[in-house]
Amino acid sequence: MTALRTIVWIDQADGAGSELLGGKLGSLVEMTEAGFDVPPAFGITTAAFALFAEHTGLQQAAKEQCAGLDLDDLQAVERVSAQLAQIIEDAPMPPRLTAEVTEAYEALEQRTGMPGVPVAVRSSGVSEDLEGASFAGQYDTYLWVCGPEDVLRNVRRCWAGLFGPQVLTYRPQDGVPVIDGDTLPGMCVGVQQMVQARAAGVMFTLDPVNGDRSKIVLEGCWGLGEGVVKGDITPDRFRVDKVTLELLASEIGTQTEEYGFDEATREVGLLAVEPERGAQPCLSDAEAVAIAELGKRIERHRGAPMDMEWAIDQEGRLHLLQARPETVWASKPVRSVTGDGAGGAAVDRVLAKFMSFGAGTTGR
């Protein structure tokens, strides 16, 4: 048992891949190793979850509850989901896990020089984030978690999320449900230092509207990136040419609210933005280009279009929070501009161009 890796730091993964860390954390390991500025994080690995499941009888309970469960019976599914969540919440944590998570959190306090450092706790499932089978948004994320006890509490919530009704009923294309009773899916939970974002958002290294790979499109908002991810804040949008890194267009809206830590409720919530700041773009043109440049480097590193989350901290430093392969356009037929049958020879195309001027269109 001593070889069991229950805690893995993203900058000391030592060969640990997504088997142990799930897709999300595994990707951050890769980004960190490639030298990108990812805030420090550790994963409570799939091995830790397996240990918990075994230790608490969760594995057995899940097998029994899911056996013969009619996935079309929503009430039954919700009942099973609630029962399993209750087990996860109530079961005693293996002492080894409690000690190791606490130790790791304290190490993070040391590294950041911040006692009680706020962290984001999020699940990183093994089947998640894989190209063509994105579970994005189906797992929970808990922000601004402080102290080892709260971390552990939210780790349990992430584990419980694995048995949410939407996961239990999810059927991938091959028809086998994620929870098939015999084995539990691998589940890692990432614990990452929160970036106290001045502005944050998402970025695609292609144009998500038409799949054009020569563009990088980013959306950002004031404060934490939750507003963009959840979609309840209308973000500023920037389009950058991937080759020349010129800012081609920006659409700047007025933002009246931002996500941030609310001192009153002690949790992340919507806060009012002063009107003067809210009317300003959340990024300067140069910042937008710098973020796009980061996206370009990451795409080049991964060799495929990517979907990323980024944040700019109060000092103006840019951080990479998430990086996963883009899945929508990756699963579509390759975009082609020569499918019009105009012939390959350049001169034929030019002649066709001249012919088309009179057709009342600008031609193809």
Partner 1 sequence: MSATDATGSFLSPHAVATPPGAEGWEQLYPYYALLSEATKDVEERELWFFDGMHNPSPIYPFDTIMTENWWVACNQLTTRVWQIPPSWGIDHRIINGYLYISPRGVSDPQQIAERAEHFQRRAGHYYANWDEIYDNWIVKAEDCIGRLKAISFAPLPDREQESFVTEHRGLFSSYDLLTSYDRLIENLFEMGAYHFEMLNLGYGAYLTFKEFCQEAFPGITDQTVARMVAGIDILLFRPDDEVRKLARLAVELGLADLVRDTADANALLAAIGEAPRGDEWLQALEAAKDPWFWYSTGAGYTHTDRAWIDDLRLPFTAMRGYIDKLEAGEDIDRPLERVLEERTRITAEYRELLGTDDDREAFDQLVQLARTVYPYVENHNFYVEHWHHSIFWSKVRELGDVFVAHGFIADREDLFLLHRNEIHSALYDLIIGWAAGTGGRGPTHWPPIVEERKRQLAALREWTPPPALGTPPDAITEPLTIMLWGITTERVQEWLGASDPDASELRGVAASPGKARGRAMVVTDPEQLHEVQRGDILVCRVTAPSWAPVFSRLGAAVSDVGGIMAHTAIVSREYGLPAVVGTGYGTQTIKTGQLIEVDGDTGVVRILQEGDA
- Residue number, 59 or 356, with CB nearest to partner 1: 356
Piece of 106-114, 150-158, 255-263, 337-345 that binds partner 1 (CB under 8 A): 337-345
Q: Map the chain to HEC letters.
A: CCCCCCEEECCCCCCCCHHHHHHHHHHHHHHHHCCCCCCCEEEECHHHHHHHHHHHCHHHHHHHHHCCCCCCCHHHHHHHHHHHHHHHHHCCCCHHHHHHHHHHHHHHHHHHCCCCCCEEEEEEECCCCECCECCCCCCCEEEEECCHHHHHHHHHHHHHHCCCHHHHCCCCCCCCCCCCCCCCCCEEEEEEECCCEEEEEEEECCCCCCCCCCEEEEEEEEEECHHHHHCCCCCEEEEEECCCCCEEEEECCCCCEEEEEECCCCEEEEEECCHHHHCCCCCCHHHHHHHHHHHHHHHHHHCCCEEEEEEEECCCCEEEEEEEECCCHHHCCCCCCCCCCCCCCHHHHHHHHHHHHHHCCCCC
- Tell the smallest beta-carbon distance from residue 190 to partner 1 (Å): 32
Tell me the closest approach of the beta carbon of residue 167 to partner 1, in angstroms: 34
Smallest distance, partner 1 to C-beta of residue 326, A: 14
Residue in the block written with tokens 């390991």: 29
286 contacts 240 by C-beta, under 8 angstroms: no
CB within 8 A of 139, min separation 6: which ones? 122, 123, 125, 128, 158, 161, 162
Give min distance, CB of 296 to partner 1, in A. 9
Q: Are 221 and 201 a contacting pair, CB within 8 Å?
A: yes
Least CB distance to partner 1 at residue 355 (A):
5
Q: Per CB under 8 A, does 358 bind partner 1?
A: yes
Which range, of 94-102, 127-135, 146-154, 335-343, touches partner 1 by CB under 8 A? 335-343
Residue 359 touches partner 1, criterion: CB under 8 A = yes
Q: Does 328 bind partner 1 (CB under 8 A)?
A: no
248 binds partner 1 (CB under 8 A): yes
Q: Which range touches partner 1 (CB under 8 A), out of 87-95, 125-133, 147-155, 336-344?
A: 336-344
- In the complex, the smallest distance separating the C-beta of residue 214 from partner 1, rounded to whole angstroms, is 4
Q: How far is the CB of 252 from partner 1 (least distance, A)?
A: 13
Total residues binding partner 1 (CB under 8 A): 40
The site map against partner 1 for 207-236 (x = CB under 8 A) is x--x-xxxx---------------------
**The residue count for the chain:** 364
Q: Does 303 bind partner 1 (CB under 8 A)?
A: no
Q: Is 326 in the site for partner 1 (CB under 8 A)?
A: no
Q: Is 244 in the site for partner 1 (CB under 8 A)?
A: yes
286 binds partner 1 (CB under 8 A): no
Stretch that binds partner 1, among 6-14, 78-86, 237-245, 260-268 (CB under 8 A): 237-245
User: Rule CB under 8 A: is residue 284 a binding residue for partner 1?
Assistant: no
Taking the least distance from each CB to partner 1, the nearer of 53 and 289 is 289
Least distance to partner 1, CB of residue 106, Å: 46
Residues that bind partner 1 (CB under 8 A): 207, 210, 212-215, 239, 241-244, 246-249, 334-339, 344-347, 349-351, 353-364
